[in-house]
Chains A and B, each alone.
Chain A
Amino acid sequence: MKFIARQAALTAIFVAALYGMLLAITFIVQPDPPRDGRIDLWTAGRTIYLTLPKYAFLGRDALDVPEPKILLLGASNTGVGFRQTQLQALVPCAKVSNLAIGSANITELRQMIDLVHDVQSDAARRSDTFVFGLWFGMFVDTALRWPDPDRQLGDTDLDIERYRYGFYRRGKDGPVAVLPPSWLRVGVMLIRPYLLFEKVTRDVTEGLRRALYTHTPERTDAQREAHVETAAEKADALQYWRRSMGNAKTISADQVALLRDMIGGLLQSGNKVVLVDLPIPKWLGDASQYQPGYVAAMQGLVDHFAGRPGFADLTMPDLTASEDFSDEVHPKPHVARVWVARLAETLNSALCPAQPPHGAAGTGRNADRFRQSIPMNKEFHDG
């Protein structure tokens, strides 16, 4: 046994020494992103986290600040449509974070909120305003959204990050935290060599992964502005979204119910919620079998929460022209600025009443109630 103990000790010492050296190198090569109570997941590529879900999971403790915060939740059209820097410039009285993750469904939004709450103090939680950017493509059950064979069925992108470094383990009733959320920062510091390794590996193998995934190349803003969707692209997009919705007949009732519970719970806790019905091109709305169910569900939600303090909704029905979009869901950059202005208008009316309007107001029916809820958070403004 002494031989085994000696070799085990030698191996442990060498591993620890090497790991320590690598850890020190990571701080020189890739410093942490600034921690000022804001996160823009869409800058993940420039950070050590590299991917949006990883940045969300590992960097979320930056949101543990008591100042008013606006947390944008949604899928890629929320990420692209409400650029954090643009919205922050128009809503100066709160810290804006864009927590939208590409391909997210409602379950993943719920997970994002839970993960943020896990690392926030009570004071930080109470000053959260959640903006939900929604469209029909988000109302799909997790197993249908991600049927990939290289993940455990039912795992969202956030789940994968939970398990990847052992911060969570699989329990019978879902993920179980191995590392207490209060230790997140220490845990993230310790895994920095992994993060840097992954970043380098991803950069090196980008060509191979593009070939395997048959991804279309990234487009610049100028290309997005110039693009006009062809008839063939529209047909492909319809087919793509049918597959992405798991070929279901309509949107998932479970996801609608989950959203309703989520909003109810947040309002109950004193948070503010803005429900944004994101525009999609009219041709897609007319042709998709999912849009009628989505419209009805959104109407039901707005009716249900109408009049509740802290709730507001925003729709932009005048922005559904085909030429406003660079594909079937994402607004062109100049249109995104209009989206941002309208959301800023809604948010400022409640959070920053002194701010002048920046654009045409949305058609949400609950802006007044949203304003009325300000006293609920008075203590934070004062404090």
Chain B
Amino acid sequence: MNLVSPAFFGFVAVTIIAYHAFVSVPWRRIVLMVANGVFIASYLDKVTEVLPLFGFLALGYGGLHIVRLRRGGATLALVILTIVAAYVFLKRFSFLHGVAELPFPYLIIGLSYILFRIIQVIVDAGSADPAEAILMSDIGPLAFFRYTCNFLCFVSGPIQRYQDFAAMDGIDISPLSDEVVYKAFSRVVAGYVKFVVLAASANYVYIHLSTQLIGSQAFEMASAGLPRFCAMNVLCAASYTIYLYFNFSGYMDIVIGIGLLLGQVLPENFDRPFAARSFLEFWQRWHMTLSNWFKLYLFNPLLMQLMTWFPAPGLSQYIGIVAFFVTFLVMGVWHGTTVVFVVYGLLMGAGASVNKVWQLACAKRLGKKRYRLVSQTTAYIYFARGLTVGYFALALTCLWVPDPPQFFALAARLGLPGEVASLLLLSLGFAAASFAVDTVRALVARRKYSLRALSTGLFTRNFTLALRILAIMAINSLFNKAPDFVYKAF
């Protein structure tokens, strides 16, 4: 169901009306369950296409039961390995092509996020914390379905923990009021502004540039010199990064806003990522629920295990670096099924571990206090921001060129000088943009009269809401194709 389709708006309206028709918790759970089913069905052409997904859910639920019945690390590891293997099989990773695959088309949208939720409940069910273990042992099959297939988070998160979901499963944890409803409407509209206006505009630029760089018009760049080719690569990488951010964060605003109208408070997934001063901080601000999930269910256990194996205190810092590398490698590889995503994982892992090494080295060389002072200077802040986003944007090439031959051809054409020049240009560009945005913000903040005061009146706030809606509708009509959600491919 496309977010800008009339079907989606109708579906959301009917779900909200049905949800609020009765205050009864069982009724609301039924409404949410039916809504999940309808949402999933909208992606299907044939009933058979959903069978692998149901099989995967059954496997997950069975795994949960096994872990509840037979506690122990070996059982937990075996169950998780089985579920991950089933995921890899269903996701059709390229190394399995021709070896093992189901001989019919089926739904894989949302599978990655279902995997995260299943692993979360299984790990927590096997947890030493009795409260968590008891909560997990109470999950019935319908609650399991409502949690793993919550239509608001189905396609691409946010990844909500079961503990948080259970607290609001058919229960209003955020009672409606004029303020809450306006906030929800405003959030949804803000999401559409990002999704339709900003992301689609960036995508328009990206598509036309990438067509000339790697697509059907690549012949035009064949004879271009390295500087021009490099500049085109930088513009593609920058426009794709902007597109990805507004597309994804817009989607999140939309589902979080709709969640508020259904009494659900979903976790935030973005917190001004382009303001991050380091790669590690960037991942605390970008796709936050994914980062938290990996921190809780991969980084922490891995770190603990490595420290058990290598208990020498002097090694702890290096163990941390290794744990960062492995975590970010896996997080990168998770994004896709071809060898290019292994490259992406390696770049993510390298980014995280080099960042950690840098922090340790600076603290050692300068001392913690002086390092903190240096890192608060304006030059350092914008240099660090630029480099962080520049590196991330360049690594994202793996996402917009997922085809291995095309990716390696592009890398070969750029060569090391081209890649380094691209990184520098991207870093400088983002640093300059960040500085400009901050300067404008500071100027606006200095004004005595804030426009925000005006936006509290009934007329003004509804007028601006209506203006934004009209802008969305008008700009949506400019593009030849309805915008799609980019992260549903991952």
Contact = CB atoms under 8 A, between A and B. Distances in A.
A223 interface: no
Interface in A68-115: none
Interface string B460-473: 00110111011001
Contact of B463 (A14, A19, A197, A213): A14
A18 interface: yes
A194 B471 CA distance: 10
A359 B219 CA distance: 44
A11 B466 contact: yes
Contacts of A19: 470
Interface in B194-238: 204-205, 207-212, 215-217, 219-220
Interface residues of A, number: 36
Nearest to B20: A1
Contact of B181 (A4, A15, A155): A4
Given A19-B470, A193-B474, A14 B261 contact: no
A79 B86 CA distance: 58
B470 A22 contact: yes
B180 A212 contact: no
B181 A3 contact: yes
Given A3-B178, A3-B180, A7-B181, A149 B211 contact: yes
B474 A194 contact: yes
Contact of B477 (A3, A22, A198, A208): A198
Interface stretch (A34-42, A160-168, A224-232, A273-281): A160-168
Interface in A196-230: 197-198, 201, 208, 212-214
B466 A4 contact: no
B205 A212 contact: yes
A151 interface: yes
A238 to B, nearest CB: 13
Contacts of B215: 149
A148 B470 contact: no
A164 B481 CA distance: 8
B212 A214 contact: yes
Given A18-B466, A197-B474, A151 B212 contact: no
A190 to B, nearest CB: 12
Nearest to A22: B470
Nearest to B189: A11
Contacts of A11: 185, 462, 465-466, 469
A175 interface: no
Contacts of A8: 185
A150 B462 contact: no
A378 interface: no
Interface residues of B, number: 41
Contacts of B474: 193-194, 197-198
B6 interface: yes
Nearest to A19: B470
Contacts of A363: none
Among B21, B176, B470, residue most surrounded by chain A Cβ atoms (within 10 Å): B470
Contacts of B216: 147-148, 243
Contacts of B21: 1
B481 A165 contact: no
Contact of A4 (B16, B212, B469): B16
Nearest to B464: A14
Among A149, A152, A155, residue most surrounded by chain B Cβ atoms (within 10 Å): A149
Nearest to B45: A172
Contacts of A147: 216
Contacts of A3: 176-178, 180-181
Nearest to B182: A7
B481 A4 contact: no
Contacts of B210: 149
Interface of A: 1, 3-4, 6-8, 10-11, 14-15, 17-19, 22, 147-152, 155, 160, 164-166, 191, 193-194, 197-198, 201, 208, 212-214, 243
11 contacts: A1-B21, A3-B178, A6-B181, A8-B185, A148-B216, A149-B211, A193-B470, A194-B473, A198-B478, A212-B208, A214-B217
Interface of B: 6, 16-17, 20-21, 176-178, 180-182, 185, 204-205, 207-212, 215-217, 219-220, 261, 458, 462-463, 465-467, 469-470, 473-474, 477-481
